[in-house]
Amino acid sequence: MPDAVAAVALAWATLLVLGGGVVLLRSHDTLHRVLALDVLVSIVVALLTILSYLRDVSYYLDAALALALLSFVATLVAVRHLTRGIPS
Amino acid sequence: MIESALDVLGAGVLGLGLLLATIGLYGLLRMPDIFDQLHAAGLVTGPAVLVILLASVSTGSADIVTSAALVFVFVLVTAPLAGHTIARAAWLLAGADDDDASPGAPPRADSLSGDGMRTLVAYDGSDAAKRALGVAAQLAASGADIAVANVAPPLGEPDFAGSPEVEDPEQEMLLAEARSEVARSGTAAVTVRRRGDAVTELLAAAEELEPELIVVGSRGRGPLTAALLGSVSAAVAGRANAPVLVVGPTAVLGEGPIVVGVDGSEASLDAARAAARLDRSLGRGLEVVHSYTLRPIPGASAVPEARAELAQVDEQRAEELLAGVADALGVPREATQTVRNGSEPAALLGLARDLDATLLVVASRGRGAVRAALLGSFSMSILADAPCPVVVVPPGARASSPG
């Protein structure tokens, strides 16, 4: 992959991270925040993926995997806590 | 050959992924409801990330492709699961909300049934809301019927979720506070209990009660901050079914007339009608203002006579416009005046200050928050530094209101 393409993609993804930050700041209750964080982590995973394309090394993808795992567990736990005590 | 084809493919797939993520993020910013937001978020957490991971094939590095495949499978499995969990939680929490309204729960939305101007006030205990309540109490003193609405946060505390029939003590406290504040003006306020997103619930309460005026406090955030962080007052003012009285941080109810700006557009005429209705309830007098700037004509400065003539034409046009508005409203011609050479916000604000206006009435074009911040919103710029409370007449208030 040409470096220029990866560099542009990296810049774009960085802007998206900022956008995700805005979504997080705007969210006004816990559930919205959980959703915003889930999306933000997804964008960071995409960012790390593009970084690994740009640098041509695979370590960043491992970091992305770890981050995605943490985010998944965190989402489940946060939602579990939120809905505690509600009969389903 | 194959290499360059892979490059193009990789760039295309990467671009597609980023585009999907951008669209999803935009949807997330624009949609108010959690279920709608989940749809947009699903685009980012699922397809966007997966497509970006697919682009790894074009790097041609075995390391990267293997790692990417691993992340791909993981995201493929977890993204829908996470989305489902959040959706289920939102569903359960919303279900608990519905129970709130069932028998045994605190009574909701008493109806507004007096003869006075039906007024809905949003109250959440904040300084801005206290100011709004103060203004509402003053309106009540001049005979308005007040309903106080409080929107509790959507079940942050699991204790309430477990026992939905229990009243939210904080909500009750806030509403009692609001009731006693209104009671000082000698009238009793009805109360509206809601739970969920402030803007959505306030608009829903307004649909139910069909008030003639909605009063909200504004924290005084500028247009840009409001667009980024969200402004309840701006969102309500743009989408409500009734004129919205926005009480800014420095606004005080004056002793003078109600000032309304008209520019000849249908929207501004409707704002003038709304102002006339408010005047009938409040009896403070009405001041219809038309401000205009002389048209800049290239070369006109060289011929003073022509310039004077053009100025006269402009003036005549303004006079005709105001005469038309006065006729349409059935107000005496003396209640109107023109301000020349004023850019509109500055002219209106200056006049409101000079007349010690009770209220300033403007039309809202109903632009969304982002577009308003980028393109400039007339009502927002007025709101930012008005000396008195500002009534914004949203497009929705015009459609439903009779003459």
pLDDT at B369: 56
Q: Residue B246: pLDDT above 80?
A: yes
Mean pLDDT in residue range B156-165: 46
Give which of A53, A60, A67, A81 to mutate to test B binding, by max B Cβ within 10 Å.
A53
Give the residue from B41, B63, B7, B67 showing the smallest Cα distance to A9. Answer: B7
**Is the model more confident about A7 or about B150?**
A7
The candidate with the shortest Cα–Cα distance to A47, out of B62, B49, B10, is: B49
Q: Would A36 be classed as within a structural domain?
A: yes
| Cβ distance of A83 and B93 shorter than 8 Å | yes
> What ipTM goes with this model?
0.93
**Domain count within chain A:** 1
Whether residues B161 and A32 touch (CB distance < 8 A) is answered with no
Instruction: List pLDDT tens digits, range B7-25.
Output: 888 889 999 999 999 999 9
Q: What is the mean pLDDT of residues B116-126?
A: 80
Alpha-carbon radius of gyration of chain A: 16
B81 with A72: Cβ contact below 8 A: yes
Cβ-based neighbours of B220, under 8 Å, separated by 6 or more: B128, B248, B249, B250, B384
B322 φ/ψ angles, rounded to the nearest 5 degrees:
-65, -40
CATH topology of domain B109-217: Rossmann fold (3.40.50)
Domains of chain B, by residue range, sit at: 2-101, 109-217, 258-400
Share of chain B above pLDDT 90, in %: 13
Would the pLDDT of B70 be above 90?
Answer: yes
B161 token code pair: 């979720």
**pLDDT at res. B76:** 93
pLDDT at position B403 is 38
Tokens at B211, concatenated: 């008030």
Assess whether pLDDT exceeds 60 at residue B372: no
Fold equal for B109-217 and B258-400: yes
pLDDT at residue B164 greater than cutoff 60 = no
pLDDT of residue B401 exceeding 80, the answer is no
Q: In sequence order, what are the residues at sequence separation of 6 or more whose Cβ sits closer than 8 angstroms to the Cβ of residue A63?
A: A48
Contact B228 A22 (CB under 8 A): yes
Set of chain B residues whose Cβ sits within 8 Å of the Cβ of A81: 158
Name the helix (H) or strand (E) containing B258: strand B258-261
- Domain containing A74 equals 2-83
What pTM value is reported for the model? 0.57
Q: What pLDDT does A66 receive? A: 95
Separation between Cα atoms, residue B242 and residue B261, nearest integer Å: 18
Q: Residue B132 is which amino acid?
A: A
Cα(A34)–Cα(A39) distance, rounded to whole angstroms?
9
Residue B169 clears pLDDT 50, i.e. is over it: yes
Give the N- to C-terminal CA distance of chain B in Å, as an integer. 71
Per-residue buried b or exposed e for B32-49, using 16+ beta carbons within 10 Å of the residue's own CB:
eebeebbebbbbbbbbbb
Confirm or reject contact between A82 and chain B (CB < 8 A).
Answer: yes
Q: Does domain B258-400 have CATH number 3.40.50.620?
A: yes
User: Is A42 domain-assigned?
Assistant: yes
Cβ contact B16:B51 at 8 Å: yes
Band of the pLDDT at B96, cuts 50, 70, 90? low
> What span, in angstroms and rounded, lies between the C-alpha atoms of A76 and A68?
12
Higher pLDDT, B209 or B53: B53
Listed residue (B67, B58, B65, B46) closest to A61, CA to CA:
B67
Q: Is residue A38 part of a domain?
A: yes
Q: Give the model's pLDDT for residue B365.
A: 67
- The sign of the torsion formed by the CA atoms of B392, B395, B398, B400 equals negative
How far B282 CA sits from the closest chain A CA (Å)?
36
Sheet order of strands, B359-363 included: B190-195, B145-152, B118-122, B213-217, B244-247, B390-393, B359-363, B258-261, B286-292, B336-340
Q: Cβ B68–A46 below 8 Å, yes or no?
A: no
pLDDT in tens, B280-317: 777 777 878 777 666 666 665 667 777 777 777 777 87
Interchain contact B224–A (C-beta under 8 A): no
The string of pLDDT tens digits covering residues A27-74 is 878 888 999 999 999 999 999 999 999 888 889 999 999 999 999 999
Mean pLDDT of B334-358: 71
Q: How many Cα atoms occupy the beta-carbon half-sphere of B286 within 13 Å?
A: 26
In a domain, A88, yes or no: no
Please report, as a single letter, which amino acid is at residue B207: E
* pLDDT of amino acid B158: 45
